[in-house]
């Protein structure tokens, strides 16, 4: 028995079609009819494959390459071996992703991989008070509560739980074992397996008898085209809503506290932790394991480096790093200074010895 191929390409493309998708130009127009039947890493290549080579530092991967076509920038196009089509693009990474989505559409939503039928599975528990539009798929063991509404083309994977009165838009995907409570979710949202959306926020107040629990009566609002990674948790608001803006992408194992507001088209990497009532602007990038203290505001387009501990507001467009975090240039200047002092001290110790 051969190894399984979980994501076979659903079509083939000519080099000319791929170039049009990429918004790029063919180095040799005569190669437009060459067929592409899949993608491959440049280090592997393969007959019929399209590979992407990222800049001069990886140009050595072109030596001895076997492929149907290479997608790259103009500065290394001349290094592609003879017989391989060259698609030149100013933004080859984005172009490669666009072509990949055309070749492997099932890899975007993973419906087949999750074993979701094209209908409602017999073992799914769907409340008679729930409203499912035509074309909703529900996997085995999934539970959909009273008053929940799910839009056309959405897929609920096995053992997922959709709580009472939740709203899920059209063409969404909810992965295996995910739970969604007290949430309003837009269109084309992807929520991967094990994610927890809408549970209590961490609301306690110290009192004479111990920690007093504060009722969390808000919601989670997730706008269109958001992607939420596996085992990520998003708490519902205490009084206001927790909001994730349109087009934002959240990695696996991220914690988002109550009342957080994340803007549009942000990226949050794995193991980041965002405390309650943080406000994040549009286009913000948070590196892996970044920790954000409560009530902090991060301006549009700001970047917080991996492993940073942020306890202060960040103006729009600035880059911060470190623990505690500060403007990145200041942080790296301090790191360099400490390194230089340590190096000088070591040299002096060697000389005295």
Which residues are identified as catalytic?
Answer: 258
How distant, in Å, are the alpha carbons of 104, 141, 236, 276 from that of 270?
25, 29, 20, 18
Backbone phi, then psi, for 25, in 5-degree steps? -125, 145
The Cα–Cα gap between 56 and 67 comes to 19
User: CA-CA distance, 55 to 73, in Å (whole number)?
Assistant: 7
Residue where the block lists tokens 């049009």: 20
Please state, in angstroms and rounded to a whole number, the distance separating the CA atoms of residues 101 and 37: 13
Cβ–Cβ contacts within 10 Å for residue 51, how many?
Answer: 25
Phi/psi class of residue 150: alpha, beta or left (left: φ > 0; alpha: ψ in -120 to 50)?
beta
**Owner of token pair 């592997």:** 44
- Contact by Cβ (8 Å): 302, 320: yes
CA distances from residue 242 to 195, 196, 258, 281 in whole angstroms, order as listed: 15, 13, 6, 14
Show the CA angle centred on residue 69, arms to residues 93 and 74, nearest 5°.
Answer: 55
Spatial contact of 318 and 299, defined as CB atoms under 8 Å apart: yes
Residue 296: DSSP 8-state: -
């Amino acid at each position: 028995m051969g190894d399984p191929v979980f994501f076979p390409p659903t079509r083939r493309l000519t080099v000319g079609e791929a170039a049009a998708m990429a918004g790029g130009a063919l180095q040799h127009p005569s190669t437009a009819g060459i067929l592409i039947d899949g993608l491959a890493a440049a280090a592997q290549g393969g007959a019929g494959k399209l590979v992407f080579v990222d800049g001069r530092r990886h140009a050595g991967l072109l030596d001895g390459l076997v492929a149907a076509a290479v997608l790259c920038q103009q500065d290394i196009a001349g290094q592609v071996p003879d017989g391989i089509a060259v698609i030149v693009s100013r933004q080859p990474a984005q172009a490669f992703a666009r072509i990949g989505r055309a070749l492997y559409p099932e890899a975007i939503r993973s419906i087949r991989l999750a074993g979701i039928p094209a209908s409602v599975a017999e073992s799914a528990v769907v409340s008679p008070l729930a409203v499912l539009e035509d074309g909703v798929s529900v996997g085995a063991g999934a539970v959909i509560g009273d008053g929940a509404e799910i839009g056309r083309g959405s897929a609920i994977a096995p053992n997922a739980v959709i709580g009472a009165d939740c709203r899920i838009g059209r063409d969404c995907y909810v992965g295996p074992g995910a739970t969604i409570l007290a949430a309003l979710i837009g269109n084309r949202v992807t929520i991967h397996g094990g994610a927890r959306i809408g549970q209590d926020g961490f609301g306690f107040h110290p009192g004479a008898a111990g920690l007093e629990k504060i009722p969390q009566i808000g919601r989670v609002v997730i706008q269109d085209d958001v992607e939420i990674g596996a085992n990520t948790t998003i708490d519902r608001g205490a009084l206001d809503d927790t909001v994730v803006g349109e087009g934002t992408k959240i990695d696996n194992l991220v914690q988002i506290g109550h009342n957080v507001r994340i803007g549009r088209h942000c990226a949050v990497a794995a193991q980041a932790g965002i405390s309650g009532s943080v406000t994040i602007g549009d286009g913000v990038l948070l590196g892996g394991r970044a920790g954000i203290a409560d009530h902090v505001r991060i301006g549009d387009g700001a970047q917080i480096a991996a492993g940073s501990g942020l306890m202060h507001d960040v103006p729009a467009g600035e880059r911060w790093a470190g623990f505690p975090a500060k403007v990145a240039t200041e942080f790296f200047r301090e790191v360099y200074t400490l390194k230089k002092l340590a190096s000088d001290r070591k040299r002096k110790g060697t000389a005295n010895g």
